[in-house]
């Protein structure tokens, strides 16, 4: 049985965890067409010259520039049309002196030609083309490799594959990219009284909320949750399920049921599974008392409170930052916003307290405190975020300006 | 062949489209456990009373309150312990006068009991329990249905299934919910010179960028893209592919290749497929000239320019608002931000112009204009959004404050 540990602040909890676990992003080679929205783990270079050939910028005639020298409005040069090149075609023709070929925008400039005369500067009479404006070598042509050369850097590591960046890599012939993997997260609920959604409630039973809600929150951090279900308050069941979690996940989250007596079974069982075991047990804030952090042979385990709003607040503070780092997920919306407190809140001196709030946009943004109690389910449905009341504050008055930490994915974010 | 239409503003284009097409959200019944993040299309009510039974708020003893009346620190009442109820258990015991039962937090209060005495107010000696504090009927008990009653409203239509809301519905025994469906969007690329990613480039060919980039952009709007591939510039191929698109999608997007001559084949073909046909051809802005809008037997078709940055800018203006409405998708991040122009931009008077920009966070946010040209692919990779230069402006000076319309999913958003 592990010794009771001193309650610590969130910052201390993170430091203790990071003494034994340094989050490392995993990298994977991924087909480009399935990688939209993901984050590049390496710099990417072009596989091809772009354009891959000398390309006409306009509809007109491919010419040898030298043939047009001296051409003017009143002094046209006459060329002999020997072929036509459409976009996407292999230009089978090769120009000799005095020859030209009809060419479309985007088409490949044929051998022998080095410039394009725009159609509006010409007059065609059968096979003869009068050119009324001279062009210099390269004029109206995008030279092969002028956008980017094969092997040149396109984008840096760390860029997200937005439609623009993703499209660029397609243009450059890239097929596979190294991306940061979604971290795999095991989610376990514990509690004698819990049953899974879809089952029929028996006497004394309630539906599990934390399993699906924490999976959603994991998803919102760009990570991949797998819900391992509910375990009863028994050493052997907890041990078996946690070992399953550790074997195949980057991170494990266990939320406690509310059943008493069994309160310490989870951290005690976890502590016996490997080294260094439980590092933190209890946060110096309300809620947070039942929170524990452990590392078992390099794998982190986060134990969250059983009460859903508390579980999600502690998730947001302790787990989400690691998941967002591991998945290289962007911040979604505003994380903190200022609002006025709609109703005064009392708090016990000597303890930091988090209070869930719902937001209400009127003349100014109002934060309504939602207290645990008979309306617990309403406070879960309506919580947009939470405010923190510091250790030395006993009261926050109605109308006071507060900072609301938004839950990820909130409506107002 | 349809008559050439007058170029119109974006606002006029939307009005003309909406004369023949009113976007309608589709609704579907969905299993709750697959509905995380989706938006409710109906109000949802609780399937059960919550808590589903009279629940103990503390560890202690279930009692008949009347038995404890008069109990005090120096004047305890003695009760006889006849059973134990743990969380999740069916309380098989039924209390008579003078009896009590051990009870855990979250456990069901047994028949006969109407209150709970906290363990710290008692002393147990074998089967005898001394109660040192009286309780009133209902004390320390959350009555069945006190959080929410069966049939009572939990959340309104239009709420997103955030982890909190989703969790609440699980708690209330909900199994299926009506949600707004993701609109199904067909994406087609046209152009003689295009080939799909993964193929080997032949002479005169380039990789298709718009197909995957527009699919990504559709995805970012909460819609479901299906890429129907590249069609050549032929009436019959275009007709066949567009009919396929219309048969099974809410909306169709076709982007034009750059091949000239064939420029009007797409809108002409579309116009022949049904009524009312092409409604808009050409926007009064640069880029936007090749844009067309059509409605065929109630189905909207958006024709976008072939140049990828242009296609994505027009998508953002014309298509994205409809897709976000249809999918009930939230705005992601800030849509418009203020920045200073890093370099002056010239524009032709008499035409509205959109200029793609990349953003650069220094002392102040700088918007670097990205002009089409030899670095086209770089401007695609780096575009974070675009600025609009109005019809009567010929120059926007370096350092001028500009409003940047952010592309959805941009890094800085």
pLDDT at A4: 64
Q: Express each pLDDT in B268-324 by its tens digit.
A: 999 999 999 999 999 999 888 889 999 999 999 999 998 898 999 999 999 999 999
**Tokens standing for residue B274:** 């049904």
Tell me the C-alpha distance between B101 and B113, whole Å: 9
The backbone torsions φ and ψ at residue A314, rounded to the nearest 5 degrees and listed phi first, read -70, -35
Beta strands (DSSP E) in B12-171 are: 27-31, 44-45, 55-56, 60-63, 77-85, 99-103, 115-118, 122-125, 128-131, 141-142, 153-155
Tell me the C-alpha distance between B291 and B306, whole Å: 9
Q: Give which of A164, A229, A358 to mutate to test B binding, by max B Cβ within 10 Å.
A: A164
Tell me the C-alpha distance between B28 and B165, whole Å: 19
Predicted ipTM beyond 0.90: no
CA A20 to chain centre: 26
Residues in a beta bridge with B340: B366, B401
- What is the CATH architecture assignment of B10-26+182-327? 3-Layer(aba) Sandwich (3.40)
For the domain made up of B28-50+148-180, give the CATH fold. Answer: Molybdopterin biosynthesis moea protein, domain 2 (3.90.105)
Q: For residue B161, list chain A residues with Cβ-Cβ distance below 8 A.
A: 216
DSSP line for A342-358: SS-EE--TTSEEEEEEE
Residue with tokens 């009068």: A130
Say if CB A408 and CB A386 are below 8 A apart.
no
Quick check: A162 and B410 CB within 8 A? yes
DSSP line for A284-311: SEES-TT-EEEEETTEEEEEE-SSHHHH
Say if CB B100 and CB B61 are below 8 A apart.
yes
Buried/exposed code over B124-155 (b: 16+ C-beta within 10 A; e: otherwise): eeeeebebbbbbeeebbbbebbbbbeeeeebb
Quick check: B88 and A191 CB within 8 A? yes
Tell me the C-alpha distance between B124 and B397, whole Å: 85
**Tokens standing for residue A306:** 């059983």
Tell me the C-alpha distance between A407 and A410, whole Å: 6
Least Cα separation, residue B276 to chain A (angstroms): 31
Local structure of residue A263 (DSSP, 8 states) = T
Residue with tokens 């699906």: A212
With a cut of 90, say whether residue B139 has pLDDT above it: yes
Element (H, E) at B322: helix B320-327
Task: Out of 2.40.340.10, 1.20.120.80, 3.40.50.2000, 2.60.40.1220, select the CATH number for domain A336-406.
Answer: 2.40.340.10
Quick check: B89 and A204 CB within 8 A? yes
Tell me the C-alpha distance between B104 and B119, whole Å: 10
Q: Express each pLDDT in B146-181 by its tens digit.
A: 999 999 999 999 999 999 999 999 999 999 999 999
For the domain made up of A29-49+148-180, give the CATH fold. Answer: Molybdopterin biosynthesis moea protein, domain 2 (3.90.105)
Say if CB B335 and CB B406 are below 8 A apart.
yes
Report the length, in residues, of chain B: 413
Which residue in the set B166, B197, B407 is minimally distant from A33, CB to CB?
B197
Among candidate residues B93, B91, B97, B71, the one with its CA nearest the CA of residue B82: B93
Tell me which CATH code domain A55-142 carries: 2.170.190.11
For the domain made up of A10-26+181-327, give the CATH fold. Answer: Molybdenum Cofactor Biosythetic Enzyme; Chain A (3.40.980)
Local structure of residue B33 (DSSP, 8 states) = G
User: In tens digits, what is the pLDDT along chain A, a chain of 413 residues?
Assistant: 456 678 899 999 999 999 999 999 999 999 999 999 999 999 999 999 999 999 999 999 999 999 999 999 999 999 999 999 999 999 999 999 999 999 998 999 999 999 999 999 999 999 999 999 999 999 999 999 999 999 999 999 999 999 999 999 999 999 999 999 999 999 999 988 999 988 999 999 999 999 999 999 999 999 999 999 999 888 899 999 999 999 999 999 999 854 445 567 899 999 999 999 999 999 999 888 889 999 999 999 999 998 898 999 999 999 999 999 999 876 655 578 899 999 999 988 878 899 999 998 878 899 999 976 555 887 888 888 999 999 889 999 999 999 999 886 433 32
Quick check: B191 and A159 CB within 8 A? no
A1 touches chain B (CB under 8 A): no
**Tokens standing for residue B217:** 């952009």
Say if CB B153 and CB B44 are below 8 A apart.
yes
A38 touches chain B (CB under 8 A): no
Span(s) in chain A for CATH 3.40.980.10: 10-26+181-327
Tell me the C-alpha distance between B210 and B311, whole Å: 7
B309 touches chain A (CB under 8 A): yes
Least Cα separation, residue B396 to chain A (angstroms): 25
Local structure of residue A108 (DSSP, 8 states) = B
């Amino acid at each position: 049985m592990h010794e009771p540990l001193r309650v610590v602040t969130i910052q201390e909890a993170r430091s203790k965890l990071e003494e034994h676990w340094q989050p490392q992003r995993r990298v994977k080679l991924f087909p480009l067409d399935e990688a939209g929205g993901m984050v590049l783990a390496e710099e990417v270079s072009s596989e091809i010259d772009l354009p891959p050939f000398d390309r006409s910028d306009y509809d007109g005639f491919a010419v040898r520039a030298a043939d047009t020298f001296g051409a003017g409005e009143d002094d046209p040069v006459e060329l002999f049309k020997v072929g036509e090149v459409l976009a996407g075609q292999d230009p089978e023709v090769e120009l000799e002196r005095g020859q030209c070929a009809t060419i479309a925008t985007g088409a490949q400039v044929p051998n022998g030609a080095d410039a394009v005369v725009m159609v509006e500067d010409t007059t065609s009479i059968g096979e003869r083309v009068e050119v009324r404006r001279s062009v210099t070598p390269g004029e109206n042509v995008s030279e092969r490799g002028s956008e980017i050369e094969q092997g040149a850097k396109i984008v840096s590591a760390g860029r997200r594959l937005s439609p623009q960046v993703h499209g660029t890599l397609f243009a450059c012939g890239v097929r596979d990219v190294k991306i940061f993997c979604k971290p795999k997260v095991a989610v376990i609920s514990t509690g004698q009284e819990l049953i899974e959604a879809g089952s029929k409630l028996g006497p004394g039973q309630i539906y599990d909320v934390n399993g699906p809600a924490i999976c959603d929150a994991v998803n919102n951090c760009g990570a991949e949750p797998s819900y391992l279900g509910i375990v009863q308050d028994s050493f052997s069941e907890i041990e078996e399920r946690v070992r399953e979690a550790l074997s195949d996940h980057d991170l494990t989250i266990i939320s406690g049921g509310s059943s008493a007596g069994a309160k310490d079974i989870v951290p005690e069982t976890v502590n016996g599974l490997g080294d260094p075991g439980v590092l933190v047990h209890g946060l110096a804030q309300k809620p947070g008392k039942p929170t524990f952090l452990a590392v078992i042979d390099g794998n982190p385990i986060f134990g969250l409170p059983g009460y859903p709003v508390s579980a999600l607040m502690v998730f947001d503070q302790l787990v989400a930052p690691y998941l967002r780092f591991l998945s290289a997920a962007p911040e979604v919306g505003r994380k903190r916003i200022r609002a006025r407190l709609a109703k005064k809140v009392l708090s016990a001196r000597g303890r930091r307290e988090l209070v869930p709030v719902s937001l209400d946009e009127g003349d100014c943004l109002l934060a309504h405190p939602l207290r645990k109690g008979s309306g617990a389910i309403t406070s879960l449905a309506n919580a947009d975020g939470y405010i923190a009341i510091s250790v030395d504050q006993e009261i926050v008055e109605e109308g006071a300006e507060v900072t609301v930490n938004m839950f990820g994915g909130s409506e107002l974010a």
